[in-house]
Structure 1
Amino acid sequence: MRVLFVEDTPDLADAVLRCLRRMGHAADWQSDGQAADSLLEHHAFDLVVLDIGLPRMNGTEILARMRERGDKTPVLMLTARADIEDRVAALDSGADDYLGKPFDFREFEARCRALLRRKQGQVESVQRIGGLVIDSAARRVTLDGVRLDLPNREYSLLDILVGRLGRVVRRDEIAAKLFSFDDEAGSNAIDLYVGRLRKKLGEGPVRITTVRSIGYLAEAMADDADGSTDRQADDGAELGP
């Protein structure tokens, strides 16, 4: 998923960015409130982690402007301030959650996971599609009880596609969620990740289909009465004229 972290303390920013990337997210950083507001006007993120005390424009103002624009991106507010008024103001401005500094990174990770699940309409951290089990808390995927070795990008790709199960996801949407501004991704990078993921999913209950000139479609395959999987197209098949 694509995460924007807005914080003016470089040491904390470095630690949080490493944490987010270790979780498998494409993470970007802004230290200036006004620059962050401008970025949010023109780019979509799956989660914004926003400090309140920022130069030029504070986090509460940024959040209020996001909500005024109709931007419903989940926002986790961070602040070192202990005053209850700051927490109330943040929540009243449209924050989805609140975490005081200093914080334990395990709690930070859990709150990020919860907000991202909520964005995708998931309540629980474990999602099951036939024999495929995706545990977002542990970032673990098993197929018929066997763990799949999925590096961060492949796991994130699966998360993106399964989060839109039965709907086409455009290539540019996938790229925006997989890669941060600092990532160097070739034009065929997404194809390579999709190819690797297909091989690991094999003949399992989720099929990834290429929709020509548009993107990819992940579908849950229905089981026949004899327990076999109904596959109407081969892995890698293309839809379109």
Structure 2
Amino acid sequence: MLIDIHEEIAEVTESPLPIEAEWMRLIARGQSRDGSGLRSMDPLGEQAESGPHYLVRLPQGLSETSLELFGMFTYEIRLGHTGSRWSTAQGRFGPALRIAGVQHPAPPLVCSPARDQFAIRIRAPYATAVHNGRNVRRRFPRTSMWAVLYARVQQTDAASWRNLLLARAMMSPRQESMDLDADARTLFGEGLFEIVQVQNQLRQLGLPDDTPLTALAVELFTDPLPPDPLGQSLGHARMLRVSPLVPVPDQC
């Protein structure tokens, strides 16, 4: 749903396992291991301590912040012989288990707060779908971005600090950002909290005006999107990703 409705994505042709056909091989007694077909598949991660469970690594060339992770992947999993024993390429791997529609965790959302004498501004990037390195995101994003502001207060026993909800605001792209070329990689949403309103909220809670503040950004799917997804309708909207909580800087 992140892709532009008019974007044409060609169907991907899945290639066969890249190993030699080996129609004929001469195998001599005592022949050393040659590793035939050993690099044609990527090994899974280390086995978990709780049982025979393995992690599927990200495809080569991708990291946890790659925009390609907004898409879905197809994996082919096989049992096979490692390089510890002799094997031909055709005999190294067993039948394939094909798994389609695998979705990795989305790239992390980064929240950037700023403050001046009039307002606190929260900035965060919308999800951007890419295909073969090309931006295929809709010009008008299909996700909704929200900013949440907290007051950081200490417990009465001074054992720890707590984040007390102050306000939330829907974020929207800036007008000049909407005029960018369609191939622009990043579209940012911005939310605003007026200083006067923040101070009034702090006073209602019995907190001083200089109480330290923290903020985070939440990106939600818009199908469906209730009117107050982070308030009374919390739990009825699907969240795509949530940024870490970050401190709001003091005014310069």
TM-score (norm 2): 0.24
Flag the structure with more relative contact order, 1 or 2, with Cα contacts below 8 A and sequence separation at least 6: 2
Identify, as 1 or 2, the structure richer in helix.
1
TM-score (norm 1): 0.25
Instruction: State which structure, 1 or 2, has the greater radius of gyration over its C-alpha atoms.
Output: 2
